[in-house]
Amino acid sequence: MHSLSQLHTFGLVAHAPFIIEFNAIQHIMAHQCHQDAFVILGEGSNTVFTEDYYGEVWINKLHGMVFSEDTTNHYIKVASGENWHSLVTTCVERGIGGFENLALIPGTVGAAPIQNIGAYGIEVGPYVDSVEYVDLATRTIQTISGSDCAFGYRDSIFKHALKDKVFITKVNFTIPKLVATVTSYGELATLTSPSIFDIYEKVIQIRQQKLPDPKQIGNAGSFFKNPVISTQHFTALQARFPAIPSFPVSDDLVKVPAGWLIDTLGFKGKIMDGIQCHPQQALVLTNIATGTGSALINFARQIIAEVSAQFGITLEHEVQLLGRINRITL
């Protein structure tokens, strides 16, 4: 058995019998899976192995980036195994604006469209022109347009109809040259007439202050999604909790920060069997010492149960949890 601890940022102790690296599309197309299950892994920053995994672990090592432009757009074709933050840095260095708010998000480019990564008022979805993938049933190369990816909040077709059916090999981005910077969100609003480099640096600074570095403390970023509830439900909650924050989603829906709900219930800083609810950011669970998969699951379930009992809201986990052979849904 091979160790998986270094392959997922939560860092729990887990093992797998087969770990296979793919550095060419031909290898993916030719590979015959000999186990009952497999999981594709980028940098494991949104995946937690909660125990030994008995399928094949496929590691994405596809590399390469090609930049081109015309009078209106930049076009970037990026192999899916490239590091996301390196892409953002390269864009900023080349004076290409659009991704600067998404600096320092861990992970690979190939995983970015799967959960439509987002931060500081920006999501990657609108910049995705198309996604290329190997269809694992037919072993053929297919392309899906960005508009067919059904991007939503931390969501896309890759979490539904194409879940576990494709190996994403390349993401093709189109970034308009006249794209406006977005500084309305949180502390970015303190910047006056910032360049894309100023925004990039500020985002890095804020993230380094607020979020635990997975290299120091195991974590997978936001453990839960921010729930979206009806305005009616929100108004009822507001009568009981006047300080409850919200962000409008549509005329009849609002998003509520899951971190606020968890914090209000007193979980921030709490430790259970080596798993901690981060003292600065209640949405992040961390592996502070000798955490185990079952301790993490128990802690997350307790949070879900108490949020449900107190607020009538069902939290969904954003992180992909893996058990012996299957994905786990809490």
Ligand X SMILES: Cc1cc2nc3c(=O)[nH]c(=O)nc-3n(C[C@H](O)[C@H](O)[C@H](O)COP(=O)(O)OP(=O)(O)OC[C@H]3O[C@@H](n4cnc5c(N)ncnc54)[C@H](O)[C@@H]3O)c2cc1C
What angle is formed at CA 257 by the lines to CA 118 and CA 185, rounded to 5 degrees?
Answer: 50
Q: What is d(CA 81, CA 278) in angstroms, rounded to the nearest whole number?
A: 29
Smallest distance, ligand X to C-beta of residue 322, A:
8
Shortest separation between residue 283's beta carbon and ligand X, angstroms: 10
In the chain, % helix, strand, coil (3-state, to 5) comes to: 25, 30, 45
Token digits of residue 97: 């604006």
User: Which residue type, as a one-letter code, is found at position 274?
Assistant: G
Site for ligand X in 93-112 (CB under 6 A): 105-108, 110-112
Residue 284 or residue 304: which is nearer to ligand X going by CB? Answer: 284
Residues 277-316 that bind ligand X (CB under 6 A): none
Instruction: Based on the shown chain and the rule CB under 6 A, indicate whether residue 132 belongs to the binding site for ligand X.
Output: no
Strands 271-272 and 275-277: antiparallel
- Residue 16, sorted as left (phi over 0), alpha (psi -120 to 50) or beta, turns out to be beta
Count of residues interacting with ligand X (CB under 6 A): 33
Specify the pairing of strand 253-255 against strand 18-22. unpaired
Site string for ligand X, 147-176 (x = CB under 6 A): -------------------xxx--------
d(CA 128, CA 24): 22
Query: Which x/- pattern, by CB under 6 A, does the window 44-73 give for ligand X?
Result: xxxx------------x-------------
Q: Does 114 bind ligand X (CB under 6 A)?
A: yes
Beta bridge partners of 219: 286
Taking contact as CB under 6 A, which single stretch among the options 183-191, 211-219, 285-293, 301-309 is the one that binds ligand X?
Answer: 211-219
Q: Is 246 near ligand X (CB under 6 A)?
A: no
> Is 222 among the residues known to form the active site?
yes
Closer residue to ligand X (CB): 219 or 276: 219
CA distance 76 to 68: 6
Interface residues toward ligand X, by CB under 6 A: 9, 39-47, 60, 80, 105-108, 110-112, 114-115, 117-119, 166-168, 211, 214, 219-221, 320
